[in-house]
Amino acid sequence: MAVPLKITVLAACLLLGACRSDPISFHTLTPVQPGAGRSGAEIAIEGITVPPQVDRAQIVIRQGNSGVAILETDWWAATLADELRGALNEQLSAGVRQQPVSVRIDVQRFDSIPGQYALIDVKWRLRQRAEANPSTLTCRTLIQTPSGTSIEDLVGAQQSNVKRLAAAINQAAASEAFSCPTAS
């Protein structure tokens, strides 16, 4: 009777070991060494919207012309909208501008294609919150960065995109003309 019990226990342990899933890797859009730090007034983030297809904890990549894959073992540290908010909070400042400024960010596309590129297409509205004469500025920024084949490469490319987006917003907020930055 003891031998069948041992075999059953051993078989159960082997089955449980075979069902082990791969560990989850967490990634962030906030680089290890953020920008040179804030100088000047902070730009408040009023809100961030992202397409619902990518606003999740799992990283979503494009496959082919019409496919997407939700990666079960590569996740953002938070939802994509929260990751963007955290990364931009680290990098936004209005330079020497004295007027309080805020920004609303509407991500139109957030594409990640392994071995090709990472792309972010954003409409954003900058608002001077001056009590006497408030003004708004609406701009659109499209940034595409080449990427290697690994998820780490894609995340690094998206970190670069967010850094460049923050620089564009900072440039507009700091300009005397309060105008959209020119494409570079």
Asked if 104 and 176 touch (Cβ cutoff 8 Å), the reply is no
Asked if 118 and 145 touch (Cβ cutoff 8 Å), the reply is yes
Tell me the fold of 25-174. Answer: Rossmann fold (3.40.50)
Question: Per residue in 83-118, pLDDT tens?
Answer: 999 999 989 876 656 678 899 999 999 999 999 999
pTM of the full structure:
0.83
Asked if 76 and 26 touch (Cβ cutoff 8 Å), the reply is yes
Compare 124 and 11 and report the one with higher pLDDT: 124
Is residue 131 pLDDT above 70, yes or no? Answer: no
User: β-strand 67-76 against 135-146: which pairing, if any?
Assistant: unpaired
Residues 6+ apart with CB under 8 A from 1: none
The whole-angstrom separation of Cα 61 and Cα 100 is: 37
What is the structure's pLDDT at 184? 54
